[in-house]
Each structure stands twice: as structure tokens, then as C-alpha cells.
């Protein structure tokens, strides 16, 4: 009887313990759901607000307000995207110390809310679920409006994203922070220097339109350096594009005085240029000839440690380039098309075309400023070790796959470099003799890089990063890189090699494991046999 009661007690205890444990574990999970404790282990901290985002919301002088318009009923999968949006906005709020507020509005709840959405230009869009095999689609609201009223301003400034889309998990932080910058800090001016027949006026208008789309945080203006007016006072960055006619002393003086103010200049200048063909050459359909080109900038640039050589770089060590034009895409390969995979300093896969190499004064090249050094030069784009240079006159034939001539120096050539520091005045006898603040320059021996930026996303990112760095907004460079870095796999071009790598990975370790198993088994057998023998001998 006593046994029975003990067993009953143990049984009850066991059941009670189990039930209590399950309940407490459930409670821990329920309460744990409220605790947001996350560790972002991604290399680029993709799920943590970057310093650019925290800085702009923290330092904002007025309140930044975000209104998210979202339907209650979403298509399957979109609720996860909405949750990501909510979490991100909460992170901004936490970082802002009360200067950032956001609210969630369901427009279908009332007519007033629907009217508000309409006022901001946010309308219903059809969303289709991304689930395979499902055709679930629904018209719904999923947009947001950002408003900001600067202190002393008459009206509110606003930025609208009418349709956030499915892919915001890739670039939401960039989408938001870039807009906050525009609203809070205003648009910095970027001037493109004209006056040297860089491109025909119509093409220049198109170029400015294209740049305006790339640089939404900046105001793109033209500045005629041959005119009598000085550059607009609030210009932060100047862009010098390959001039057709050489710069003269007066032009150089104007640019020098801009640099002396501690501002930024981007040079995209080629050392070789296509020569105009005469009628006879055109009749014979001869390929264009390239000749070294006098742009009149080298004296200026050499003072700052860089010079554009009168050549262009050919490279056989590059991968073919995939160019997307609308829905079509094509693969092209030419040694003059430098498909540089990665710019270390301004992370972007860049593709210069017919780019000149740069001569760099070794004494200024360093990663960090040495003691006593006033400025430094850092190469940022380099061709592969299979490169050589071509000097003019050179008949350029895009159909021909050039090979290096005998005796050509195969080396890595610098195609772009950045200069930073207290730059000396490049015009003798002028004051100040040194830039007031740290000035920044980027010299790229190529102009086609910019022309190709519409079709090559890497070039566009590189261009944006260069301008951000020159405008001392490198926080935006970091943010853009964080969102847009594409981690491509450099697979061997030979299919056989690719299969061999795959097979070695799939079967290499299993074969080793089986071999280990067989050896282990044989060892055990041997041990057993010797033990049996020993026992037999003892008997």
C-alpha cells in the first residue's frame, strides 16, 4: 500500500513538474517576444542603422515625421516586409532622441484617412504574392510620406515614396536616409564645368538630366569657366570633363582658387582623344585614330601629385562585361574596356573604357598621412597585371581583339586616384599658398565611365560615391555600399573546371569519411583478433 502511494506521489509530481515546465517555457516565450534583443552579424551590419542614419535624425533641427500608409489586409508575405519597415522606423525613432516620429495609417479605415493618402499622392497599387504557384493579388496601400519643416521656414518640405514595393529589405535605410538628408540638410550644389566643348550643348543637357537622376541629394548646375562670373558661392563640388580645347591660365586660376577653399573637384579627363576623320577616311570606313590630347590640366594636377598620361590602358585580365539596355542585355569584351571588378576605396564594380593611366608622384602615395605630410594620393582603380598601355597614333577598332606588342610592359596601371589634404596652390604668386581646409580631388583618366553609367550600374554607384566623398558626405558612401554591395562569385569560365570543383566539394569529404570508416573498422578488427588470440593463448 505504501508502495502504491509513493508511486502515486511520484507520478503526480512528474506530471505536475512537466506541466509547470511547459507552462513556464510558454510564458518565457510570450514575454520574450516583447524583448527586442538582436545581434546583427552581417559583415556590413545590414540590419543596424548606420552612422549616417543616426547622425541625420539626431542632428535634425526640427521634427522629421513619417506617415506610413498601409492597408490592413495584405497579400501573403507582404506582412513580413511591413514588419521590417516598422522595425526600421522604430530604430530611427530610438536613435533620434525624440526628433523622429512616425505613425501607421490604414487609409481604408475612414474617408478622412483615405483623403490624406490622396493628398500625399499615395494610391492603391496591385501587389501579387511572391509565393510560388499562387496568383493571389490585391490592390492595396503601401507607401509613405516624409515631412519636415525647417526652423523659420514657411512651409513643410516633403518627400513621398508612393509605392514601397517588395524589395525594401534590400535598400530601405538608403531610401529613407537619403531623403532625410535632402530635407534636413538641403541640396548641395555640384557644378559641371563647361566652356571647352566637352560635348555638344544638347548632349550636355541630357548628361545633366541623367546626373540629376543619379544625384537626387544634390543640385546639378553648369558653370562656364571661360565666362567672367565666379562659380556659385555654395558650390561644393566641381566636375571637370575631358575638354576638347586646352585649359588656359585663367581657367586654371579659377579652379585653383576653388580648391584653395577646401572644396572638391572630380576630374574625368582622358589623355588620348579620337581624331576627327576627314572625308576620305569616312568614305573608306576607316576606324578612328586616337592621338595624345592636350587638355592643359597636367601642370595643375602634377602640383597635387597626379598626371594624366597620353595613353590608354589595354587589359586582357578582365572578365567580359554584361551590359543591360532596358530588357535586353549583351556581353562584350574588349581589352580597352576595363571591367575592374572592385574599387577598394569606393566599393563598386567599375568599367572604364579607353581610360588613360595616371602618373602618380610616389612621395605623396600613402594610406594615411605621414608625419609632416600635407596631403596624400591614394590610387583607387587599378587594371589587372595583364595590362599594357597604348600610345598614339592608334587606330581604334572595336572589332579587333588587340594583343600586347612585343616588349610591352605588362603591369597594373593606376586609372583613378584620390587626393586629400592641405593642397598647395598650383598657381604661383597667388594667395593663399595652401588650401584653407582639407581639399579633396578625384582624378579619373576616363570620361566614358560617366557616359556608360546609365547602362553599367557599377559605374553609377562609383560616380555617386565619388561625388559624396568629394562633398564630404562619405557617410552616404558607406550607407550606399551597405545596401548595394553585390557579392558575385568568380566562377572559372571553363565548364569542366566548374564541374570538377563541384564534384570535389560533393564527394571529396564523403570519400575521406568512408576511408576513415574503413580504416577504423580494420583497426577494430585487428584489435579484436589480437584480443581473441591473447585469450586463446591464456586458455
Partner 1 sequence: MYKTWTLYKREMGEYFNSPIAYIVIVLFLALAGTWGLSKIFNVEPARADMRPLFELMPMFLVVIAPALSMRLLAEEKSTGTMELLVTMPVADWQVIFTKFFAAFSVLFLMVVFTLPFAFTIAKMGDLDWGVTLGSYAGLLLMGACYISIGLMTSSWFKSQVVAFIVAGTICLVFWGLGNEEFTKLLPQTAAAVTQQVFGLDYHFKNFAKGIIDLRDIIYYSSITTCCLVLAGQSVQSRKWR
Residues 496 and 507: their CA atoms lie apart, in Å, by: 16
Contact call for residue 21 and partner 1 (CB under 8 A): yes
Instruction: Outline where 162-297 has alpha helix (H).
Output: 168-185, 201-214, 249-260, 279-283
CB of 506 to partner 1, least distance (A): 3
Chosen residue from 506, 519, 526, 531 binding partner 1 by CB under 8 A: 506
Q: Return the range that interacts with partner 1 (CB under 8 A); candidates 30-38, 60-68, 220-228, 360-368.
A: 30-38
Residues 171 and 40: their CA atoms lie apart, in Å, by: 16
Chosen residue from 1, 32, 167, 431 binding partner 1 by CB under 8 A: 32
Residues 152 and 103: their CA atoms lie apart, in Å, by: 25
Which phi and psi angles does 130 have, rounded to 5°? -95, 5
Contact call for residue 77 and partner 1 (CB under 8 A): yes
Q: Is 40 or 234 the residue whose CB approaches partner 1 more closely?
A: 40
Q: Is 408 or 509 the residue whose CB approaches partner 1 more closely?
A: 509
Contact call for residue 490 and partner 1 (CB under 8 A): yes
CB of 29 to partner 1, least distance (A): 6
Contact call for residue 74 and partner 1 (CB under 8 A): yes
Contact call for residue 2 and partner 1 (CB under 8 A): no
Q: Is 44 or 402 the residue whose CB approaches partner 1 more closely?
A: 44
Contact call for residue 320 and partner 1 (CB under 8 A): no
CB of 136 to partner 1, least distance (A): 8
- Is the CB of residue 468 less than 8 Å from the CB of residue 478? no
Query: Containing H/E element for 95?
Result: helix 78-96
From the list 253, 259, 268, 218, the residue with the least C-alpha distance to 420 is 259
Contact call for residue 79 and partner 1 (CB under 8 A): yes
CB atoms within 10 A of CB 392: 18
Instruction: Outline where 352-456 has alpha helix (H).
Output: 448-451
Q: Is 42 or 278 the residue whose CB approaches partner 1 more closely?
A: 42
Residue 331's DSSP bridge partners are: 322
CB of 128 to partner 1, least distance (A): 14
Q: Is 43 or 154 the residue whose CB approaches partner 1 more closely?
A: 43
Contact call for residue 134 and partner 1 (CB under 8 A): yes
Q: Is 74 or 442 the residue whose CB approaches partner 1 more closely?
A: 74
C-alpha cell at 381: 582603380
Residues 115 and 121: their CA atoms lie apart, in Å, by: 10
Cα distances from 69 to residues 80, 116, 122, 125, 142, in angstroms, run 16, 9, 8, 12, 6
The footprint of partner 1 (CB under 8 A) covers 7-8, 10-11, 14, 17-18, 21-22, 25-26, 28-29, 32-33, 35, 37-44, 46-47, 73-74, 76-77, 79, 131-132, 134, 322, 486-491, 498, 501-502, 505-510, 513-514, 517, 520, 524
Amino acid at each position: 500500500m505504501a508502495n502504491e502511494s509513493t508511486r502515486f506521489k511520484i507520478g503526480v509530481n512528474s506530471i505536475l513538474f512537466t506541466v509547470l515546465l511547459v507552462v513556464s517555457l510558454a510564458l518565457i516565450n510570450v514575454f520574450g517576444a516583447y524583448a527586442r534583443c538582436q545581434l546583427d552579424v552581417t559583415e556590413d551590419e545590414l540590419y543596424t542603422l548606420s552612422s549616417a542614419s543616426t547622425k541625420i535624425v539626431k542632428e535634425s533641427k526640427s521634427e522629421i515625421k513619417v506617415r506610413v500608409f498601409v492597408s490592413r489586409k495584405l497579400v501573403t508575405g507582404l506582412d513580413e516586409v511591413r514588419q521590417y519597415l516598422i522595425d526600421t522606423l522604430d530604430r530611427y525613432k530610438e536613435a533620434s532622441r525624440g526628433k523622429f516620429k512616425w505613425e501607421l495609417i490604414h487609409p481604408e479605415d475612414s474617408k478622412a484617412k483615405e483623403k490624406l493618402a490622396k493628398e500625399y499622392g499615395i494610391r492603391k497599387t496591385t501587389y501579387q504574392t511572391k509565393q510560388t504557384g499562387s496568383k493571389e493579388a490585391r490592390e492595396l496601400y503601401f507607401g509613405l510620406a516624409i515631412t519636415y519643416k525647417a526652423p523659420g521656414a514657411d512651409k513643410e518640405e516633403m518627400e513621398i515614396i508612393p509605392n514601397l514595393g517588395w524589395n525594401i529589405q534590400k535598400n530601405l535605410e538608403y531610401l529613407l536616409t537619403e531623403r532625410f538628408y535632402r530635407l534636413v540638410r538641403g541640396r548641395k550644389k555640384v557644378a559641371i564645368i563647361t566652356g571647352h566643348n566637352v560635348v555638344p550643348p544638347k548632349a550636355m543637357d541630357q548628361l545633366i538630366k541623367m546626373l540629376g537622376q543619379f544625384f537626387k541629394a544634390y543640385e546639378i548646375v553648369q558653370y562656364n569657366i571661360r565666362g567672367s562670373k565666379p562659380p556659385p558661392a555654395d558650390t561644393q563640388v566641381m566636375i571637370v570633363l575631358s575638354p576638347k580645347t586646352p585649359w588656359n591660365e585663367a581657367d586654371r586660376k579659377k579652379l585653383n582658387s576653388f580648391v584653395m577653399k577646401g572644396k572638391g573637384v572630380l576630374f574625368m579627363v582622358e589623355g588620348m582623344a579620337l581624331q576627327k576623320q576627314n572625308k576620305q577616311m569616312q568614305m573608306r570606313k576607316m576606324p578612328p585614330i586616337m592621338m595624345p590630347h592636350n587638355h592643359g590640366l597636367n601642370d595643375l594636377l602634377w602640383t597635387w601629385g597626379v598626371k594624366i598620361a597620353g595613353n590608354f590602358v589595354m587589359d586582357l585580365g578582365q572578365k567580359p562585361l554584361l551590359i543591360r539596355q532596358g530588357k535586353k542585355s549583351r556581353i562584350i569584351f574588349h581589352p580597352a574596356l576595363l571591367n575592374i571588378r572592385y574599387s577598394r576605396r569606393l566599393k563598386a564594380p567599375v568599367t572604364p573604357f579607353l581610360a588613360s593611366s595616371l602618373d602618380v608622384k610616389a612621395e605623396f602615395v600613402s594610406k594615411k598621412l605621414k608625419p609632416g605630410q600635407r596631403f596624400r594620393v591614394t590610387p583607387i582603380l587599378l587594371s589587372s597585371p595583364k595590362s599594357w598601355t597604348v600610345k598614339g597614333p592608334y587606330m581604334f577598332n572595336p572589332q579587333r581583339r588587340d594583343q600586347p606588342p612585343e616588349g610591352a610592359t605588362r603591369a597594373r596601371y593606376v586609372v583613378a586616384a584620390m587626393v586629400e589634404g592641405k593642397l598647395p596652390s598650383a598657381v604661383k604668386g597667388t594667395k593663399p599658398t595652401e588650401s584653407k581646409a582639407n581639399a579633396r580631388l578625384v582624378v579619373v583618366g576616363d570620361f566614358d565611365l560617366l557616359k556608360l553609367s546609365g547602362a553599367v550600374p557599377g559605374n553609377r554607384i562609383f560616380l555617386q560615391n565619388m561625388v559624396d566623398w568629394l562633398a564630404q558626405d562619405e557617410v552616404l558612401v558607406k550607407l550606399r555600399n551597405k545596401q548595394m554591395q553585390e557579392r558575385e562569385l568568380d566562377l572559372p569560365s571553363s565548364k569542366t573546371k566548374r564541374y570538377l570543383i563541384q564534384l570535389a566539394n560533393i564527394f571529396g569529404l564523403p570519400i575521406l569519411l568512408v576511408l576513415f570508416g574503413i580504416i577504423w573498422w580494420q583497426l577494430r578488427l585487428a584489435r579484436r583478433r589480437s584480443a581473441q588470440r591473447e585469450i586463446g593463448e591464456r586458455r
